[in-house]
């Protein structure tokens, strides 16, 4: 009797396992049928693992949020009549594309340098970039496309940048355009450039090259960067 009872329990356990497997397979088939095909606008990528949310990465990690729209250029210009200076970055990195704001990498010194050089009364956060207009400051990028670094840019990425900056200079007449990084300037105009005021002008607008504020530019010290930012501040008032 005891052996027969043990056999029935084993059979019952096997039956429950089989039922769970059947339900699991059915759930998988339902999930596959309900998932839209790539031709109907579905995102093509790695299949999700069961039991894991769609985006399991740290939400602070920009790779978790960069979309095709961001990769094509999701960082808006900050421009309006009355700006005294326009800062021109190279192109958006992944942090900026994810935040929709310029120089958004927390290790980027741009916003700290703006405040330390006297451009702003307090250190603004990237999400507050529209507040720059109150200080007579504008923002743009030489290239719209998002990359992990400027080394990934191609010459064709800078196509049209010169004409766009000329239009900004003609329409808004800022006292200067400050290029944040030599690549921002040479990518647009070619040739070589040193930090500081350039011989080239766009109408009445002076062109000034600043050191890159990227954390990748560790060769230039904070003091050296601040010196050039202060020199530009003296130029535009």
DSSP assignment of 206-232 equals: EEEEE---STT-TTS-HHHHHHHHHHH
Domain that residue 93 falls in: 73-236
Q: Are residues 81 and 195 in the same domain?
A: yes
Q: Are residues 78 and 51 in the same domain?
A: no
- Residue at 67 is within a domain: no
Lay out the sheet containing 196-202: strands in order across: 137-141, 85-89, 176-180, 205-210, 196-202
Q: Are residues 202 and 92 in the same domain?
A: yes
Residue with tokens 């011989």: 199
Residue 184, domain CATH? 3.40.470.10
Q: Are residues 79 and 22 in the same domain?
A: no
Q: Are residues 108 and 165 in the same domain?
A: yes
- Residue at 39 is within a domain: yes
- Residue at 93 is within a domain: yes
Residue finishing a domain among 56, 82, 102: 56
- Residue at 81 is within a domain: yes
pLDDT score of 15: 65
For Cα atoms 112, 119, 174, give the angle at the middle one, nearest 5 degrees.
Answer: 125
Q: Are residues 181 and 89 in the same domain?
A: yes
pLDDT score of 146: 75
Q: Are strands 196-202 and 205-210 parallel, antiparallel or unpaired?
A: antiparallel
- Count: domains in the chain: 2
- Residue at 68 is within a domain: no
DSSP state of 78: B
Q: Are residues 210 and 102 in the same domain?
A: yes
Q: Are residues 186 and 81 in the same domain?
A: yes
Residue with tokens 């080394």: 151
Q: Are residues 199 and 101 in the same domain?
A: yes
Q: Are residues 120 and 216 in the same domain?
A: yes
Tell me the average confidence (pLDDT) per consecutive run of 10 residues in the chain, 237 residues long: 55 58 47 40 36 39 44 80 97 90 96 99 98 98 82 82 97 98 96 97 98 93 98 98
pLDDT score of 22: 53
Q: Are residues 80 and 34 in the same domain?
A: no
What radius of gyration do the chain's Cα atoms show? 27
Q: Are residues 80 and 131 in the same domain?
A: yes
Count of alpha carbons within 13 angstroms of residue 73, beta-carbon side: 11
Query: Structure tokens of 206?
Result: 């002076």
- Residue at 63 is within a domain: no
- Residue at 65 is within a domain: no
pLDDT score of 93: 87
- Residue at 61 is within a domain: no
């Amino acid at each position: 009797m005891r052996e027969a009872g043990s056999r029935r329990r084993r059979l019952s356990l096997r039956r429950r396992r089989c039922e769970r497997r059947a339900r699991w397979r059915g759930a998988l088939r339902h999930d596959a049928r309900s998932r839209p095909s790539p031709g109907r606008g579905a995102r093509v990528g790695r299949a999700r693992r069961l039991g894991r949310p769609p985006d399991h990465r740290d939400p602070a990690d920009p790779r978790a949020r960069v979309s095709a729209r961001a990769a094509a250029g999701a960082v808006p210009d900050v421009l309006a009549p009355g700006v005294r200076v326009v800062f021109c970055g190279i192109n958006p990195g992944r942090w900026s594309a994810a935040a929709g704001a310029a120089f958004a990498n927390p290790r980027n010194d741009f916003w700290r340098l703006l405040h330390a050089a006297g451009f702003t009364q307090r250190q603004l956060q990237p999400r507050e970039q529209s507040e720059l207009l109150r200080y007579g400051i504008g923002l743009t990028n030489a290239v719209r496309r998002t990359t992990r670094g400027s080394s990934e840019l191609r010459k064709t990425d800078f196509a049209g940048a010169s004409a766009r900056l000329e239009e900004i200079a003609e329409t808004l007449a800022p006292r200067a355009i400050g290029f944040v990084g030599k690549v921002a300037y040479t990518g647009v105009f070619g040739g070589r450039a040193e930090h500081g005021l350039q011989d080239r002008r766009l109408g009445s607008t002076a062109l000034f090259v600043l050191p890159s504020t990227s954390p990748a530019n560790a060769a230039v010290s904070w003091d050296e960067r601040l010196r050039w930012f202060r020199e530009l501040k003296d130029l535009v008032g």
